[in-house]
Amino acid sequence: MALINDIFTAGFRLIDGSALNRAFAAINAAFAGTTPGAYTGTFNGVVGGTTPAAGDFTYINQSVADALTAAGTTRADALQLAAQTNVIATAAASTGVVLPAATAVGAGGSVIVFNDGANPIKVYATGSETIDGTAGSTGVTLTNALRCEFYLTTTLKWKSAKLGATST
């Protein structure tokens, strides 16, 4: 940690790349294996500045749920998602998942769903939320072998961005 303190105290003026790489490797190692969340610390130094100044940085460690099984045939009995990145490994015909509540994600946030199952799934939203203008209770279809990022644009509106097949 002494190396990190020295670099942050001195600022980024005239720091060689190897020292900076070691510092960021140490930062990443410090957060490896921690629980998901935001971590804050102090950054002493202004890039290109002449006087060190205090500021904040945030390190984000996203939550991931792997090997999930889609469930149910309606929003009421579909699998409730709780992570930011979700990998559906098993998807029987007509099953689905429910996005986390908008209040938990916050406007500007997003949730990623990978459908690695054998069948398309329904993705539902909670309460009166909508996905691309479709009622959350109706849901939208996510084809198998595809992934989609759902962006919360306002308190009750999700927008989807479907992405192509996953690489093998």
Task: Give tens-digit pLDDT for 37-51.
Answer: 454 444 444 444 444
Phi, psi of 49, rounded to the nearest 5 degrees: -85, 175
In what order do the strands lie in the sheet containing 96-98? 79-80, 96-98, 121-124, 140-142
Select from 44, 61, 78 the last residue of a domain. 61
> What's the pLDDT tens digit per position in 90-142?
999 999 999 999 988 888 899 999 999 999 999 999 999 999 999 999 999 99
Q: At what angle do helices 2-10 and 17-31 cross, to 10 degrees?
A: 120
55 domain-assigned: yes
pLDDT tops 60 at residue 7: no
74 and 152 share one domain: yes
pLDDT tops 50 at residue 21: yes
Task: For residue 104, give its domain range.
Answer: 64-163
Number of domains the chain is built from:
2
69 and 49 share one domain: no
33 and 112 share one domain: no
124 and 145 share one domain: yes
Select from 30, 46, 61 the last residue of a domain. 61
168 domain-assigned: no
Phi, psi of 10, rounded to the nearest 5 degrees: -80, -15
CA atoms within 13 A on the CB side of 89: 4
